[in-house]
Structure formats: C-alpha cells, structure tokens
Amino acid sequence: METIEKSLILLKPDAVDRGLVGEIIHRFERAGLKIAGLKMLWPKKEHAEKHYTEDLAIRRGQKVRDLMIEMISSGPIVAIALEGVEAVELVRKMVGSTEPKSAAPGTIRGDYSHVSFKHADSKSIGVYNLIHASGSSAEAVEEIKVWFAPEELHEHKPGYTKNTIAY
C-alpha cells in the first residue's frame, strides 16, 4: 500500500484577496508536505464546472453547486498539488471544518475565517472559506487532472535531513 500521495489545494479568491497565500503555503511546507505543482489563475465558469461536478449537485443541491462555481470564478485562485505521507488526510486536518465558524483554532479556516453556513445562505452566496482540499485520494487524482497538465507536476526530492520524512 502506497502511503505517499498527492492532494489538491485551491486557495480561493478570498484567500488571494486577503493576502494569505504565503502564510497558508508556509503552513503546509512546515508540516513536511512538498509542492509538486503550483500556479495562479482566474478560472472561467466552464473550468469551475469541471471541478464542481454534477456529483456536488446530487449531494448538496444545484443551488449550492451554482454558488460554489460563482464564488471560485469570482477572482484569481492559487492551485497547488501537495505531496506527502497520507497527504489528503493531513491536509484535511490542517484545513479544518468546511464551515469556518465550526473550524477548530489552529486550523487554517479556524485561524483565518469565521463565516457560517447560515450567513452565506442569508446572503445567497457561496461559503467563503479560503481553501478547497481534496476529500479522498481518489478525488485528489481526478481533481489534480482538472487543474494541472501532467507536465506541470514535478518530481523532486526536497533537501531532507535524517530527522525528516524520506520520500
């Protein structure tokens, strides 16, 4: 069983607008995750629809899907492919609960956001929660394909010492 995996991270327009990109990337690197791919782009609606698939509409409703597509395409984002030991689970733990007001202190959402589902619903907007993180290893594989061409992903070995994780 392979324990080294990749996870997709999208730093959403609110993270970019608030100048949190460097801080968030720093947290992932400090945890020992390596960057396999990184780019900034302003997604068109059609690109966002490839990420927020019809499956989201089935699970959470078409209105939620539409709001998420509108939100993610409202400004520039930073797409990151991170790699590490059980990266998907680690990243999800670091990011915190999807609803920022419920995210624990010490998580990215818990430290930098506070919006509730109730507030977003009252304003008929998507939840501005700074970041998207893949929910499973299988999801990560498919999501990375949406945001990165194979030649945009890089294999490299960071300068680890004997006291860090070996790739």
Catalytic sites, residue numbers: 132
In sequence order, the β-bridge partners of residue 8 are: 81
3-state secondary structure of 104: coil
Enumerate residues 6+ apart whose C-beta is below 8 A from 118. none
Measured between alpha carbons, how far is 132 from 82 in angstroms, rounded to an integer? 13
Enumerate residues 6+ apart whose C-beta is below 8 A from 113. 14, 100, 103, 128, 129, 130
Cβ contact 126:120 at 8 Å: yes
Taking CA atoms, 134 is separated from 43, 95, 111, 121, 131, in Å, by: 18, 11, 20, 23, 10
Helix (H) / strand (E) element for 39: namely: strand 34-41
At 141, list the tokens: 């594989």
